[in-house]
Amino acid sequence: MNIYSKIYRLYRKDVDAQKISLMTNIPLKMIKSIIYKFEHGDEMGGDESHKTVAPFLDIASSKFHKHVILDLSGMLVEQFIGNVKDALDEAERLTGFLVAIKLESVLEVDKAAMDFIIDFKENINQSTGRVVVLLSPSEEVENYIEENNVEERIKIFGTQSSFEDYVFRNVMGLATKGNRHH
């Protein structure tokens, strides 16, 4: 998990900036600066119990021999579908076989964004035979997956280790039993 995601999670749990500083070993002034950037619309002296955070999504790409991992951090919501599309299109150009979307640091997900990923997966699979999977879903994403039966439409790997095992065992894209891998 990247440090900004960790700070954001602690911030969302109303952990005091000084405690976040101690827990992350980052200077208090820097923590306060990061929290200030998270806050949206709060004024000095405002009621801190009504914190709102400006939506954000960061996408990091890691290329390997037979796959690409897109590591998403932030909010996987409709507003960022264009960013996700650009990252998926780039990943499709970079890899010969598999695209994994790592959701470990996703704090929020909505139907439009998840439907976009599933539609992309179905289209790329039909047109090129390439595989798109979900990797290490966060608790928020896990709840969405369970409530919306997402695992019936896309392979999901609970850990990076299980995913890497799948890559090494299925280099040619052969299907395995079920869509849930731990």
Quick: pLDDT tens for 99-158. Answer: 999 998 888 999 999 999 999 999 988 988 888 999 999 989 999 999 999 999 999 999
Whether residues 41 and 108 share a domain: the answer is: no
Based on the structure, what is the number of domains in the chain? 2
Give dist(CA 65, CA 49) in Å, integer. Answer: 47
The residue segments making up the domain with residue 23 are 3-50
User: E strand or H helix at 38, and its extent?
Assistant: helix 28-38
Tell me the pTM. Answer: 0.68
Domain check: are 91 and 62 in the same one? yes
CB 138 within 8 A of CB 108: no
- What is the model's pLDDT at position 70? 93
**CB distance 35 to 11 below 8 Å:** yes
Distances (CA, A) of 45 to 6, 54, 88: 25, 19, 42
- Mark whether 101 and 138 lie in a shared domain: yes
Give the whole-angstrom CA distance, residue 169 versus residue 102: 20
Verify that 23 and 46 share a domain, yes or no. Answer: yes
Q: Mark whether 85 and 168 lie in a shared domain.
A: yes
